Structure 1
Amino acid sequence: MFSYRHAFHAGNHADVLKHAILVQILDYFNHKDAPYWVIDTHAGAGMYALDGEWAGQSGEVIDGLDRLLGAPQPPELITRYLRAIQDFNPDGVANRYPGSPALTLHALRAQDKLRLFELHPTEIEVLETTLRHLGTSRRQVAIAREDGFTGMKRLLPPPTRRGLVLIDPAYEDKQDYRHTLQAVRDGLERFASGCFAVWYPLVQRVQAHEMARAFERLPVEWVHATLTVRKPSADGLGLHGSGMFIVNPPWTLHEELRAALPWLTKTLAQDEHARHTLTSSAQSAVSAGASAASPVKAAPQSRRPADGRTAPRAGRAPAQKRSPSRK
C-alpha cells in the first residue's frame, strides 16, 4: 500500500498537466474576494528535490518540466504555471518542484483555507516539514493522516460554499478508480456547486477508461482533457499519458486548454503517437491532436532561457527506465 513515492515522478509530463490546470483554477478563484477552501485528498510530500535521491535517479523531469523551460511561445496556461515554479526557485535553476500543497499555498490568500490528507507515514512527515519551512499558519492549513476519500466527506460543504477538491490517488490499487468515481458522486451530493478536479493515469488498464466514461455521464458541467506523450509500451507497463477531469470548471478553463494542449503535445512528444483530447459537457465533440514532428529530445542540460525564466538544473541525470505505478 505504501510502496508509491511521488518523488520519483516529480515534474514529469503528468505533473505538468495536473499542476498547470490546478494553478489556473486557483487563479480563477482568486478573481473574487470571497474566501474558498481547497481540499487535497492525496497530498504527498508537498515539495520535491529534483536533484535528490528519488527524482534525481529517475530523471523523469527531463521529459516533463525541463522540456517546457525555455520552449518558445508558451500559452498562458503554461506561462502561469512556470511563473509559480520560478517562485520556488529564485536562483533561476529548477532544483525544487512544488507539489499540489505548495502550489496551492502559493496561490492562497489570507482568508482561504487548505485541508490536506495523506496516509503514507514518510510522506506526511516530509509534508509537515515542508509546510513549516513555508511558514504556514495552523489556522489556514490542517493535515490529517487519514484516507482522503473518506476524510473529504466531513468537510463538505465548506463553510464558505466556495471550494476546490483535488483527487489524486496513486492508483496502485485498482479499487482506486472505483473509489475516485464514488468520491466525486458523494462530493456532489454534499457540495453540488463545488469544483472537483480528478487526475488519472493513461495506462493499459480497463478501469481507467471505464472511470473516464463514467465521469462523462455525470449530469453536471465538466471539462475533460487528456495528454498522451508516446505509444503504450508493448509489455503494457508504464505511463504513456494522463488525464484531468474537472467538474464545475472555471468558464475560462476550456479555452485555455484549447490553446495549451496542442503546444504541450508538440513540446512533450516522445514519439509520433503523441496526441491530446479535449471534451466538455457543453461541446461533446472531441478535439484531438497529434504531433507530426519527430520525438522531442530532452532539453540541453545547461540551457538557461534568454528571457530569465527558470532553467533546468545543470547536469540533470538522464532518465533510467522504470515502470511507474502512475506518474
Structure 2
Amino acid sequence: MLSYQHGFHAGNFADVHKHTILALMIEALNAKEKPWSYLETHGGCALYDLSDEQAQKTGEFLEGVNRLWGAEDIPEALQPYMEQVKAVNAEASLRFYPGSPSIAAMMARASDRLVVMELHPAEYQKVKQHFKRQPQMAVHHRDGYEGVMSMVPPKPNRGLVLVDPSYEVKTEYKQVAKFVKQLLGRWPNGSVAIWYPLLKAGHQQEMLDSIVSCGIRKVYQSEFFIKGSDSERMYGSGMLLINPPWQLDKKIDSVMPWLYQNLAAKEAGEPQSQWLVPE
C-alpha cells in the first residue's frame, strides 16, 4: 500500500521483536568468513526520528524500544540488536531508530551485498539518500516481490530475505505465501524471515498453513504478545523463519521471556515458539 508509512510505528514492540531476530540472523551469517546477500521486499526508511510528528503522534516507541533504552540487565541475545540502536544515537537520550535496512547495513562487512526494495515514492527517496555513499547497498523503486524475485539466486549465494509488508490489504497474506514458495524454488538454501501482525481477525493463519503444507522444510515460528488476543488492535508480532541459522531457536528462546517481562501487559499470553516443520 502506498499509503503506509512506518514512521508512525517505528520502534514499537513489533519492531523490537522483528529486529532482535533479524540482528541474530545476521550475527549468525557473520560467524563465517564467506560473504552473504541481504534482500528486503519492503524497506521503508533507513532511519526514523522519534522526535518527529509521525512518531510523536502515536508514541508507539514509548511502549517498545524506549523501555529497553538504558536497561542494565539486557540478555546476551538482545545485544546485537541494541548495539545497532545505540549506534545511531550519539547522545545519551534515545532519538533515532534504525530501520531494518540500516540494521543490515551496519552489521554488513565490505564483501557482503544488500538490496532493498521500496515502492512508496517518499520512503524510497529517503532510503536512497541515506545509502548514497554505500556502494554495497542497492536501493530500488519497485514492487518488492517482483524486485527480489528478479534477483534470486543472488551472488553471494548464502544469505537472507526479509519479507515485511504492511498487510493493510488482506490479499497480502496469500501474496506472501505464493512469493515464498516461488523464492525458495529458485533459492532453496536461502534463509527467509517473514514478519506478520497478530490481529483478532487471524488472517495470518491461512498464510502460515499454506507455507507449512507446501513441502518446505525447516520452518520455525516465534510469536510475541503484548496484549490479550481479544484486543481490537494488534496484540502481538509474529516471525516465520525458513532455513534459520543453526541454534537460532535457542537464542530466540533465551531472550523472549525478558522482553515479555519488560514490554507485555498482564493479560498478554507468554511468548510462543515452535518448529512448524522440522528438518
Task: Give the alignment's TM-score, normalised by structure 1.
Answer: 0.81
| Secondary structure class of the residue paired with 1:249 | coil
| Secondary structure class of the residue paired with 2:156 | coil
Query: What residue number does 2:186 align with?
Result: 190
1:210-225 equivalence runs, <5 A? 210-217=206-213, 218-225=215-222
Aligned counterpart for 1:158 among listed residues 154, 157, 163:
154
Distance 2:268 2:40 in 1: 32
* Matched AA of 1:119: L
Query: What residue number does 1:206 align with?
Result: 202
Query: What residue number does 1:240 align with?
Result: 235
| Secondary structure class of the residue paired with 1:273 | coil
1:176 to partner: Cα distance? 0.8
2:228 is equivalent to residue 231 of structure 1: yes
Query: What residue number does 1:54 align with?
Result: 54
Distance 1:63 1:191 in 2: 37
* Matched AA of 2:68: L
Question: Aligned-residue CA RMSD in angstroms?
Answer: 1.7
Q: Which has the higher contact order (CA 8 A, sep 6+)?
A: 1
Contact 1:50 1:56 in 2 (8 A): yes
| Worse overlay, 207-216 or 49-58 | 207-216
* Matched AA of 2:244: P
Query: Per-residue displacement from partner, 1:167-225 (whole Å, max 9, x unpaired)?
Result: 00010111110111111101110000000000000012232122123333343112110
* Matched AA of 1:102: S
Distance 1:186 1:128 in 2: 27
Distance 1:60 1:22 in 2: 20
Query: What residue number does 1:119 align with?
Result: 119
1:282 to partner: Cα distance? 6.5
Query: What residue number does 1:13 align with?
Result: 13
| Secondary structure class of the residue paired with 1:199 | strand
Query: What residue number does 1:78 align with?
Result: 78
* Matched AA of 2:239: M
2:251 is equivalent to residue 256 of structure 1: yes
1:283 to partner: Cα distance? 6.5
Distance 1:77 1:147 in 2: 33
Q: Which structure 1 residue ranges, 5 or more long, are not aligned?
A: 285-327
Query: What residue number does 1:170 align with?
Result: 166
Distance 2:241 2:23 in 1: 13
Q: Which structure 2 residue ranges, 5 or more long, are not aligned?
A: none
Distance 2:262 2:246 in 1: 26
Contact 1:229 1:240 in 2 (8 A): yes
| Secondary structure class of the residue paired with 2:116 | strand
Distance 1:278 1:258 in 2: 7
Number of paired residues? 278
1:100-115 equivalence runs, <5 A? 100-115=100-115
Contact 2:218 2:278 in 1 (8 A): no
| Secondary structure class of the residue paired with 1:11 | coil
Contact 2:212 2:277 in 1 (8 A): no
Contact 1:220 1:281 in 2 (8 A): no
Distance 1:216 1:72 in 2: 39
Contact 1:21 1:77 in 2 (8 A): no
Distance 2:123 2:236 in 1: 24
- Structure showing greater Rg: 1
Contact 2:112 2:156 in 1 (8 A): no
Distance 2:72 2:155 in 1: 43
| Secondary structure class of the residue paired with 1:185 | helix
| Worse overlay, 64-73 or 258-267 | 64-73
Query: Per-residue displacement from partner, 1:96-125 (whole Å, max 9, x unpaired)?
Result: 100011111001111111111011011101
1:94 to partner: Cα distance? 1.4
Distance 1:216 1:73 in 2: 36
Contact 1:165 1:194 in 2 (8 A): yes
1:129 to partner: Cα distance? 2.0
Task: Give the alignment's TM-score, normalised by structure 2.
Answer: 0.95
1:27-46 equivalence runs, <5 A? 27-46=27-46
* Matched AA of 1:49: D
Distance 2:126 2:56 in 1: 17
Distance 1:163 1:36 in 2: 5
Change (3 A) 1:281 1:203: closer
| Secondary structure class of the residue paired with 2:11 | coil
Query: What residue number does 1:136 align with?
Result: 134
**Between the two proteins, what is the percent identity of the paired residues?**
34
